[in-house]
A and B are shown apart, each in its own frame.
Chain A
Amino acid sequence: MNGHAMELTCTGRRPIKGSGSVCILVCAGVVAILMGLVALRLYSLNMEYKLAEIQRQIVTREEEQSRLEKDLASLLNPTRVYSYARSELGMRASANIGLVKVAGPRDIVLADNGKASPGTGKLREVLARLVDTITGKASARQ
């Protein structure tokens, strides 16, 4: 009977020992999770810092772009260019300018016994367009 009782007692202790281990494991797990959370928080703080730094750089660049745009507009100011040309480069505007209009390709009358050949004119026009398409110099020709 006693031996049986002892056996029962011993059998009854085993779960207590086991539950202690589980508790330790749970505590260790909780601590690990907490440390993980802390690590995650630190990592996120680091990322936030980097993000803020990048945003700060974006703002700085945008401000720089605004200033450069202003400087560019100031430099492109025709009044400034004109003053610079006169004072620094010594350039002078010509007086009493006469204009000579050079006829464009379509205005040229082809010499063909004093008459323009419609066929040649069309051919020239097609060729001119082809050259324009290839070279992209249509505006220059006009």
Chain B
Amino acid sequence: MSRLRKSPWILLSISICAILFRLYSLQIDPDPRVRSQAGSQYWARLRVTAPRGCIRDKNGISLALSTPALSFFIDPTLWDTANAPLLQDLIPQSRLERISSPIDGRYFLIARKIEPETADKIAGLKLPGLFWVKETRRVYPQGNTLAHVLGYCDVDDVGLAGLELFWDSVLYAPPEGRIIAKDARGNFVDVAIPGQSIVAENDGSVQLTIDSRLQHILERRLREGLMLNKAEWAAAIILEPGSGRILGMASLPDFNPNDRNTFKDKESLRNNVTSRVFEPGSTFKPIIMGNVIDNGEISKQDTFNCQGKIKVSDVVIHDIKAHGTIDASRIIADSCNVGMVLSIRNSDPFQTYSYLKRCGFGEVSGIEIPGEESGLLAPPSQWRGSVPATIAIGHGIGVTPLQLAVATGSIANGGKIMKPFIVSEVRGKDGSLKYTGKPEVVAEVLSESTAEWLRSAMRKAVLSGTGKTADVPGASVAGKTGTAQVPGGGGYQKGAYSPSFVGFWPSENPRFLLLVILGNPSSGDFLGGKVAAPVFRNIVQDIEQIS
């Protein structure tokens, strides 16, 4: 009797225990198949790109950054092809045609990283089977500005050119698998799992030595010069001669990294400052003159007789006019070819070659940009006949504008070749400091006194020589013109020139060094003093107003 009375409670207890056990087995430790099934119903793992690190100028203004963008895809098993016309003009036509008919599989991408305005329109349609995921898109807010230096990325945000390529290991964050919740209807709900960050972090950054304001001046004035003189290409670089810090670098034609249609012209993708090799012409004379004076091959007071032309081996080297009796400083100021040839008569080719190597010619400078050319400097064993003479006037040698600017910088800073740098600081993905750009002396190639004398000679070139059009009253500009012929077809192309001007200011204690080159102008003028020097002057005027 008592057992019967006890039995309901026992049964109830057993039932409760059974329910509790079942609850535990279902809720706490379910069968793996159940777990998998439930997981696929409520959660989905998607592959999304993480934001790339920022590139900023010296004042912290963003030059390249990643902004949110949406990518849309459809699940063909849930997609109704009748809805395709609703996406007209919102997605690419080829994709629209594709989703207008049945597709196999569970995933079909219809639009990648599109603008927020368009994305909002598509999302607002709320079409069954249409899903979206957040990604990031590389944006260059200043458009064409500094495009050659910044470079660009592919659609997966992998760096392909410029700083984007050079510092890809720091800027690029690999794609991440992202867990996204689904609601009962299978729509994605962008809610993170608690404890897991919804946004991939990337504190990587590259800070440049470039000043956006100087860069703008450089590009604007260079573009004006290019259009006025109908030149094929142009390049300009401004740097601090005392440190090698690059403040601006412009190359034309250029492109807009936000618009891939501007990538079609291969010439526009070339950075003419670091990747174009040209014969420098007379802008090379101060560099050679510094060597012969430092070696004692001539003295600063020596005079030479220029009769307008001179025969060297089987070549006749001409001047624009006969300069008559001319001293070393006037050779620079008046850009006398004959005087230069006479000055290097006793030079040792091996010593000159060694000097030019120490100046950085024939070698890459090591600037933090990919694609730098080393130039062309033949070994001294090949310097036969007229070669030493032509090199003295800036022909028979190929240099990049960057090399020429750095070598001229040694005149401005007292004889030191400084390693050029364009990156001031690089931080890794975790924000730690990875690299710091700082002044580095590569070689000492001139004595202080020779450098000072060359500065005064180049000042004379601006005051009373070939570079008068570069003068800016009050700025004390010193510089040198160059009008180089363009090699081609085994000789020099007829009527093709590369006028240039390299200078620094103030001449007593230079703060800035600027080089301007315009390639193959076709408007009529081709002399450095008439084509490049005015552009130089305009840039100096603009910079002096803001510096």
Contacts and interface: CB of A to CB of B under 8 A. Distances in A.
Interface string B267-305: 000000000000000000000000000000000000000
B62 A30 contact: no
Contacts of A16: 2, 5-6
A70 B115 CA distance: 13
B143 interface: yes
B472 interface: yes
Interface string B458-487: 000000000000001111000000000000
B258 to A, nearest CB: 11
Contacts of A114: none
A48 to B, nearest CB: 6
Interface stretch (B189-197, B495-503, B520-528): B189-197
A76 B212 contact: yes
B216 A62 contact: no
B61 A73 contact: yes
A20 interface: yes
Interface string A80-96: 00100000000001000
Nearest to B196: A55
A27 B220 contact: no
B216 A79 contact: yes
A74 B68 CA distance: 16
A100 B61 contact: no
A77 interface: yes
Contact of B220 (A66, A73, A74, A79): A79
A97 interface: yes
Interface string B410-449: 0000000000000000000000000000000000000000
Given A16-B6, A62-B199, A74-B142, A52 B192 contact: yes
Contact of A27 (B12, B191, B474): B12
Interface string A45-63: 0001001100110110011
B13 interface: yes
A67 B73 CA distance: 24
A66 B544 contact: no
Interface residues on B, range: 35 or more
A73 B61 CA distance: 6
A59 B180 CA distance: 14
A70 B62 contact: yes
A92 to B, nearest CB: 13
B145 interface: yes
A62 to B, nearest CB: 6
Contacts, number: 98
B44 interface: no
B474 A98 contact: yes
A34 to B, nearest CB: 8
A78 B474 CA distance: 25
A69 interface: yes
Q: Which of A51, A56, A59, A67 has the largest number of chain B CB atoms within 10 A?
A: A59
Interface string B199-223: 1000000000000110111011000
Interface residues of A, number: 35
A36 to B, nearest CB: 14
B141 A73 contact: yes
A6 interface: no
Given A70-B62, A73-B65, A79 B199 contact: no
A101 interface: yes
A73 B63 contact: yes
A23 B68 CA distance: 61
A27 B17 CA distance: 11
Contacts of A55: 191-192, 198
A30 B67 CA distance: 54
Contacts of B16: 27, 30
A99 interface: yes
B66 interface: yes
Interface in B23-74: 51, 61-63, 65-68
B541 interface: yes
B158 interface: no
A98 B142 CA distance: 31
Contacts of B68: 63, 66-67
B139 interface: yes
A79 B143 contact: yes
A19 B545 CA distance: 99
A23 B198 contact: no
B98 to A, nearest CB: 30
B216 A82 contact: yes
Given A27-B12, A59-B198, A67-B67, A78 B216 contact: yes
Given A63-B67, A66-B65, A76-B212, 15 more contacts: A16-B5, A19-B6, A23-B9, A23-B12, A27-B13, A52-B191, A52-B194, A56-B198, A58-B199, A76-B61, A77-B212, A78-B217, A97-B544, A98-B473, A99-B473
11 contacts: A30-B16, A58-B198, A62-B199, A63-B67, A66-B67, A70-B141, A74-B141, A82-B220, A99-B473, A99-B474, A99-B544
Interface of A: 16, 19-20, 23, 26-27, 30, 48, 51-52, 55-56, 58-59, 62-63, 66-67, 69-74, 76-79, 82, 93, 97-101
Nearest 7 pairs of A and B residues by beta carbon: A99-B474, A78-B216, A73-B141, A98-B473, A73-B62, A52-B191, A63-B68
